[in-house]
Amino acid sequence: MFTTDSDVQQILLCIYAVFAGNSILIYDHVMTLPEEIVLIWRRPKGLFAMLFLLNRYLALLGIICSMVMQPFLVSDEVLYFVMHVLNVWAHNFFLCSKYTISRQLDIFFQAIIICIIMAMRIYALYGCNQHLLTWMAIIIIALVGVACAVTFAQVSGDAAILPRIGCYEVYTTETAARIGLAWVALFVFDLLIFVLTVYKIYKIRGLPRLSLITRRNVIDVIFQDGVMYFGAIALINIPNILTYYSGSVRIQTRTLRQLFS
């Protein structure tokens, strides 16, 4: 598959950035493990704590599997050659196409868990309002359906081992635009959570008392954390979405998406 030097440089830059992000995440796990054991593992765990741990270690497991499997990834053609031409059982290798699907599933489930955690925060903030919970559940199911339809449908994409790069996904412009809708759906949900958070705290505290500095009570903490979360997600997700609708077909689908995951 043809790749220009410019494509290779951009993709390698993304790979280095992903490696740096993964290293920071692993370092964070190691540094916070003692507090995690004392504050979470040694105490009774409710649904919120279980979802937190599931999301925390699902991301860590995905990173570790990616780092371990990367040297053993091969294309369909290479696996066919090894198994049928050389008559060798290639059980020590992993298909690049299967690897990309597993990575998509890992990111997909992480996004679902985060959406559920955010919905639980809003549910508690609104005094366990059942009508709000029902509407949020409907919205989550609808957005998940959209994400599934555009991400795991039969699309004209390809996963292959590219020279000097490794396992890489290539899509047509039309397919990339469809997959970008999954990230648009996630951003819409994040925007909904942000609006509901600001609206409720405005009703409780009033606009003059909203502050990003003071943390005097749980309301201040929820507001500050909500604004910081939405700001970070918007900063990452908006450029990520734009990569699906601009640039060359070769580099469109493997840049900021990995950073986001």
Which candidate, 114, 113, 112, 120, places its Cα nearest to that of 136?
A: 120
pLDDT tens for the chain, residues 1 to 261: 555 667 667 777 777 777 787 888 889 889 999 999 988 898 888 888 898 899 889 888 888 887 777 666 555 555 555 445 554 444 444 566 677 777 778 888 888 888 898 888 888 888 888 999 899 899 889 888 888 877 766 554 566 666 666 676 767 777 777 778 888 888 888 888 888 888 887 777 665 555 555 556 666 666 666 677 777 777 777 877 887 777 554 444 444 444 444
Q: Using alpha carbons only, how large is the chain's radius of gyration in Å? A: 21
Provide the β-strand partners of residue 166: 162
Contact in structure between 100 and 162 (CB atoms under 8 Å)? no
Contact in structure between 251 and 11 (CB atoms under 8 Å)? yes
The pLDDT of residue 31 is: 92
What domain count does the chain have?
1
- Measured CA to CA, the distance from residue 85 to residue 18 in angstroms comes to 36
The pLDDT of residue 124 is: 86
CATH at 86: 1.20.1070
Give the C-alpha distances (Å, rounded to integers) separating 236 from 35, 161, 200, 232, 239: 28, 27, 26, 6, 6
Range of the domain at 206: 5-260
Supply the DSSP symbol for 169.
E
| Pairing label, strands 94-95, 73-74 | parallel
